[in-house]
Amino acid sequence: MENRANLKSGEFLVKETDAQRVFIPEEFSEEQKMIEETCYDFLDTEVFPNLDRIDNQEEGLMPGLLKKAGELGLLGVAVPEEYSGFGQTFVTQMLACEAFGAGYSFAVAYSAHTGIGTLPIMYYGNEEQRKKYVTKLATGEYLGSYCLTEPGAGSDANSGTTNAVLSEDGKYYILNGQKMWITNAGFSDILTVFAKIDNDRVLSAFIVERHYPGITFNPEEKKMGIKGSSTRQIFFNDCKVPVENLIGKRGEGFRIALSILHMGRIKLGANVLGAAKKAIGESVAYANERKQFGQLISNFGAIKHKLAEQVIRTFTTESAVYRVSNDVDTAINDCTKAGMDYGRATIEGISHYAVEAAILKVYGSEALDYVVDESVQIFGGMGYSAETLVEKGYRDSRINRIFEGTNEINRMLVVDTAMKRAMKGDFDLFGEAKKVSGSVAGLKSQDSKKEEYFAEKKRYIKNFKKAILLAIDKASEKFQKQLVYEQEILFNISDMIMALYVSESTLLRVEKLSGMKDAGYLKIYKDILDVNIYDAAARIKKSGLDAVNSFAEGEDLNSLARAINIFTEIAGVNIKEARRRIADKLIDDNKYSF
């Protein structure tokens, strides 16, 4: 397996990455840290003191907060300077998303405006559209929303029935239809609306201004969580949209929608980090104050296990988030050097990493769900009270497994997209998988021997990849084109891939840290890595066995099961003590500072 600076999407399955070539959060520049601090200061001064008012959807409060963020330049982090933005790298954009992810409902409004509300026009709009709309969206003069979902078109977005017909004078598209679950609908000035022109098979995209005649809004939806986020249905009844407000080309809307979903998935991976770190902060502060049986509950092993696992899942998510974010920056730079327009280059760079985007979305949202659930548990009865922030965080978290394509859709995309990229010739997935299959007959358990720490961990990661390649090869061989209908098996393989990618990302981060910090500093991060790989081996083993048990029989099954068992063999880890050391650092710091 070779090293290369920037792997193609999914190529991590067959190639190694040099730790020195990945970006890790410990390398943030002073400018990036200043932007992060500005975001947190904004939350502390403007958002956290007003959470109840936000949840009650006090008239004008949320749009006012967004406009204040715009005055500080925080709505334009992803927008180039020529369109009144901040012109920051993708890594920096992700850091801002992470920071604001701690902001409960405000995080949703912010993400919707700065992401799906602004960037379709930035990435796919023409120069005139960018100057007219993006410049004002970047400063907060205009606020944006994104109108894709319909009552009959959710995950299958292209099945939408909203229709656009050219007017007799050729100056307008006449828009008719209904959109639902539209974030920021209560106050957005600019709507990116998807509709089919005439009887087109695929969608087109339009810029619609709120004041255009023929638009009506339903009352606010009542939701389980993110209560401060405006969510409404929107109806278009003979709404006249100027022809110059078509974004991109006719029929390009479906591609735009998919590309923006890739962007939303990656950014959600960053968003959940801020929410997780906020919840961990609440958890440890409470555990360090609450006494039971004559002592602080942070002294109890059961609580330490929960705190440590919260840290591990957050740290590993973070490692994967910034690994791929830097890959996206490299891809964007490559596209711009090749002469591509900045907007198209950016979305091309993001869309290129569709496999990793789906991984971050699923793993990150499920990691946050674990963190907030255990936060409520650590608080006990108080955690169920609406007086606590952990109750709010618990309810707000649940939507993330539905946002930006459900986790079920994204699990299938992880495998399906990797295989399609390989079929296009991006990397030799199937050739490498055949090699692994061919080696199964004579496979033997590796004798335990003393290895250098990182060499041992890398061997485990290589073997995890072999387990995945074996499952892909045998499932593809068995089902061929029908594999797409075997969703349970695709889920098994997807879970294996996600565990691998996150573990490898964590390994690369800790290995790179080893060249930057002393052994004492590094010890706690080796504990995180040890527990993560120990748990990943068990998850990959179970998912692999679940997969092959679903289609293989007899001696073939015995051979495959034996191979998966061997590929997931690792040395034992005292996970109790490792977790206690992780928890003790959190408890001593009284905040997340990993």
pLDDT in tens, 11-65: 999 999 999 999 999 999 999 999 999 999 999 999 999 999 999 999 999 999 9
DSSP at 174: E
Does a structural domain hold residue 391? yes
Does 348 score more than 60 pLDDT?
yes
Assigned domain for 419 exists = no
Do 498 and 476 lie in one domain? The reply is yes
- CATH number of residue 117's parent domain: 1.10.540.10
Parent domain of 298: 253-409
Q: Is residue 5 part of a domain?
A: no
Q: Please indicate, yes or no, whether residues 446 and 560 belong to a single structural domain of this protein.
A: yes
- Cβ atoms of residues 549 and 489 within 8 Å: no
DSSP for 561-591, written as a single string: HHHHHHHT------HHHHHHHHHHHHHHHTS
Burial 397-424 (b: 16+ CB within 10 A, else e): bbbbbebbbebbbbbbbbbbbbbebbee
- Choosing from 282, 404, 432, 504, the catalytic residue is 404
Answer with the residue of higher pLDDT: 574 or 158. 574
DSSP 508-539: HHHHHHHTTS-HHHHHHHHHHHHHHHHHHHHH
| 578 and 437 in a common domain | yes
User: What would the mean pLDDT of 177-193 be, rounded to a whole number?
Assistant: 97
Domain assignment present for 10 = no
**CATH number for the domain including 387?**
1.20.140.10
Residue 4 pLDDT class (50, 70, 90 cuts): very low
- The CATH number given to whatever domain includes residue 193 is 2.40.110.10
pLDDT at 5 over 60: no
Above 60 in pLDDT, residue 1?
Answer: no
Q: Are residues 468 and 484 in the same domain?
A: yes
Give the pLDDT mean for 515-531: 95
Say whether both 50 and 151 belong to one domain.
no
pTM for this entry: 0.96
Query: CB under 8 Å to 384, separation ≥6 — which residues?
Result: 376, 391
Q: pLDDT of 98-141, one tens digit each?
A: 999 999 999 999 999 999 999 999 999 999 999 999 999 999 99
**Do 575 and 444 sit in the same domain of this protein?**
yes
Nearest of 200, 217, 194, 206 to residue 240 by alpha carbon: 206
- Is residue 403 included in any domain, yes or no? yes
Q: What is the mean pLDDT of the chain?
A: 95
Rounded CA separation 133/141 (Å):
10
| pLDDT reported for residue 448 | 66
Q: In the listed set 232, 247, 262, which residue is the last one of a domain according to the structure?
A: 247
User: Does one domain contain both 573 and 539?
Assistant: yes
**Is 404 annotated as catalytic?**
yes
For residues 465 and 557, state if they share a domain.
Answer: yes
Residues 352 and 394 in one domain: yes
> pLDDT by residue (tens digit) across 360-416?
999 999 999 999 999 999 999 999 999 999 999 999 999 999 998 899 999 999 999
230, 258: one domain:
no
Are residues 514 and 463 both part of a single domain? yes
Residues 479 and 566 in one domain: yes
Residue 340 lies in a domain: yes
Specify which residues 296 forms β-bridges with: 291
Number of structural domains in the chain? 4
Q: Confidence class of residue 80 from pLDDT cuts 50, 70 and 90?
A: very high
Residue 13 lies in a domain: no
Answer with the residue of higher pLDDT: 449 or 250: 250
> Is residue 6 predicted with pLDDT exceeding 90?
no
Residue 560 placed within a domain: yes
CA distance 360 to 101: 15
